[in-house]
Amino acid sequence: MGFQVKKAVREKIYVKVALMAPSGGGKTYGSLRLATGMVEEIKNETGKNAKILLANTEQKRGYYYANEFDYDIVDIDAPHNPEKYVELIEFAVSEGYDILIIDSTSHEWEGKGGCLELQQQAGGTYQAWGKVTPRHNKFINAIADSPIHIIATMRGKDQYEVNKDDRGKTSVQKLGVGAKQRDGFEYEFTCTFLIDQKTNCAEVQKDNTHIFEHEGATLLTENHGKKIMQWANSGEGYTPVARNEDNTSDSTSAGDDISAVKKEIITVCTKLGGTKNADLMATLKEFVPSGNPNALRDLDKAKSCLAKVKDIKPIEM
């Protein structure tokens, strides 16, 4: 077997950043500050008006800062199976977002319908992980391989420390110890921060950028996002990621444009009664687990889906 040796060249990178903190640590706010700084740097370098999508799993928390930052939001409800998060990443890419914030990824692991629950449903044995782990790994791979910048938050494993000051007054401090995710998940990222609940200051746990190695605990700001983006764009160019594109050449007919097919599917679904039509939803889930036509990525599959939904009878209203 032959080996091809070539000169190593530093490429531009789609950065993946992780923020871990106990509740109240400032994960959502910190991620929005980082993302906003990244957007500003993209604007400075390319003139492009980059877009942020925040995937919200934390009830209404994702809406708290809408008056402070410019971002779009999508609510991610249960079940929190890994496939839903893979579809989320694919959706963000297909819709042209530059930065995706997943707030938080802990639900994929311990939320309703997440990996821990899936393992119990599969028998709760060690062997049951053989069915769940590959599904979780697809989520990890989707983060790593996706052509988009991702900021993922994780709930910290809460631990409490009792302290006494010089006057003997007792105080209880909540500490974040690791993340509520599979062990080692936090090391899949370009850089990972652990945020203190009391001070909201972040300490880097892993840093491939070398930007934060000697900075110590710091409050994450837009400036940190700018530095991360400057580092990411300091290479020679991106390695193309093989994926289906929604846009086709001018010579391609509308019938061969997956975005046009998906729009037609949605139009038909609306006429059929949408989610109220059980037959329709069952058919959609044959092609995409979430039942969301926007998550279709394969043109042939989208065409097959369109043909099948056209045969469904509308419900009586």
Print pLDDT tens along the chain (317 aa): 689 898 888 888 999 999 999 888 899 999 999 999 999 999 999 999 999 999 999 888 899 999 999 999 999 999 999 999 999 999 999 999 999 999 999 999 999 999 999 999 999 999 999 999 999 999 999 999 999 999 999 988 755 566 666 776 776 555 545 678 888 888 889 999 999 888 999 999 899 999 998 888 999 999 999 999 999 998 766 554 443 333 333 333 333 478 788 888 888 887 887 777 888 888 888 887 767 777 777 888 889 999 998 999 887 65
Write the class of the CATH domain 16-232: alpha beta
pLDDT reported for residue 236: 64
| Coil/strand/helix, residue 24 | coil
Residue type, 56: N
Record the tokens describing residue 193, joined without a space.
């921060």
pLDDT reported for residue 149: 97
Record the tokens describing residue 294, joined without a space.
């926007």
Place of tokens 């190695």: 213
Cβ-in-10-Å burial (0-12, 13-18, 19+) of 101 comes to buried
pTM of the model: 0.71
pLDDT reported for residue 164: 66
| Coil/strand/helix, residue 216 | coil
Domain ranges of the chain: 16-232, 254-309
Q: Let me know: does 149 contact 92? Beta carbons within 8 Å.
A: no
